[in-house]
Amino acid sequence: MGPSAIRYAGLAGQLESAGVSPTDAGDLAVPHHATRDADAGPANAKHVQEVEEVTTSLADAVSTALAEETTPLALGGDHSIAIGSLVGSARDADIGVIWFDAHGDFNTPSTSPSGNVHGMPLAAALGIGDFEGAEWANAAGLEAENVAIVGLRSVDGPEAEAIRDTDVTVYTMSDIDERGITDVTNDALDVATDGTDGVHISLDLDWLDPREAPGVGTPVRGGVTYREAHAAMELVARSEAMRSFELVEVNPILDEHNETATLATELAASAFGKRIL
């Protein structure tokens, strides 16, 4: 329902106002969870077989869009779709990633307290732990040294340890409080563009404070403001480094008057170049 809510909130019009000519490629086929056994795959990775099925299709769609010299924009849905976005974007290029999120999404089945794959996509793409050698999940052209997580404020203990054991760069909400969103985003862009062909932007709406974005599955108080989020996306646009983009974790069941979906469309427009003047 997330992608439908984002479309209904006026995504196409927002992108057009940014000077983009959008093409809606439609929805990928997604198995209904009620028809599948969540625990049919490896232990503590719910619906991982379905995630593999969907993200493999998404990876092909993203790769095809890039081959056609367009910029893919993926809509979720939960953050597990990022596995497909990253694999597709990194299939024929070396990429960096900026992960705008309250969470690290660096768990694996061995460390996850819930077994939800939407808490694992960054670890999966980097081949961490249980995901080592999982071709469907590993992003070939992505190295940890080109990954920046921005706005982290909720992380599990083993997950934090796993992040510290890599070359991933993390900017917490404390960093944003102390240094400001402009300096932090510019530093993240430096990390993600260092020696790469382009940057994948992953924007989880729970990056924002729940007062700004109530319609998310795992809200965490103390997130960025409306204006800080736009400022970050405007810097992304000015960098001209964005290769691919995704909006995730819009849940209209939890939203209020489609506010979160509307916010998603506005932030996408800023990332694609919409300016005040």
List the domains of the chain with CATH numbers: 1-19+38-272 (3.40.800.10)
Catalytic residue flag (residue 118): yes
Q: What is the pLDDT of residues 186-244, one digit of tens each?
A: 999 999 999 999 999 999 999 999 999 999 999 999 999 999 999 999 999 999 999 99
The amino acid at residue 207 is W
- In angstroms, the first-to-last Cα distance of the chain is 34
Catalytic residue flag (residue 249): yes
Residue 138 pLDDT:
98
Q: Which of 150, 200, 143, 194 is nearest to 171 (CA)?
A: 150
Q: What is the pLDDT of residues 34-53, one digit of tens each?
A: 888 888 888 899 999 999 99
What average pLDDT does the segment 59-84 reach?
Answer: 97
C-alpha 101/C-alpha 175 separation (Å) is 14
Among 52, 101, 255, 266, the active-site one is 101
Give the range among 9-13, 30-34, 91-95 with minimum mean pLDDT.
30-34
Residue 236 pLDDT:
98
Query: From the annotation, which residues make up the binding site for Mn(2+)?
Result: 79, 101, 103, 105, 204, 206
Residue 94 pLDDT:
98
Place of tokens 């469907």: 136
Q: Which of 247, 212, 246, 248 is nearest to 228 (CA)?
A: 212
Residue 39 pLDDT:
87
Q: What is the pLDDT of residues 170-191, one digit of tens each?
A: 999 999 999 999 999 999 999 9
Q: Which of 160, 136, 163, 162 is nearest to 148 (CA)?
A: 163
Q: What is the pLDDT of residues 82-133, one digit of tens each?
A: 999 999 999 999 999 999 999 999 999 999 999 999 999 999 999 999 999 9
Catalytic residue flag (residue 206): yes
Query: Reduced to 3 states, what is the DSSP secondary structure of residue 208?
Result: strand
Place of tokens 């992960």: 99
Spacing of C-alpha 58 from chain mean position: 13
Q: Which of 143, 102, 105 is nearest to 121 (CA)?
A: 105
- Give the chain's length: 277
C-alpha 243/C-alpha 227 separation (Å) is 24
Catalytic residue flag (residue 79): yes
Query: From the annotation, which residues make up the binding site?
Result: 79, 101, 103, 105, 204, 206
Q: Which of 96, 66, 52, 86 is nearest to 248 (CA)?
A: 86
Other residues' Cβ atoms within 10 Å of the Cβ of residue 204 = 27
What's this model's pTM, rounded to 2 decimal places?
Answer: 0.97
Residue 141 pLDDT:
98
Q: What are the distances in angstroms from CA 266 to CA 9, 136, 147, 159? A: 9, 32, 25, 31
Among 78, 143, 159, 204, the active-site one is 204
Among 52, 53, 78, 79, the active-site one is 79
Catalytic residue flag (residue 103): yes
Q: What are the distances in angstroms from CA 165 to CA 94, 96, 132, 154, 198? A: 22, 18, 15, 18, 25
The pLDDT confidence band at residue 31, using thresholds 50, 70 and 90, is: confident
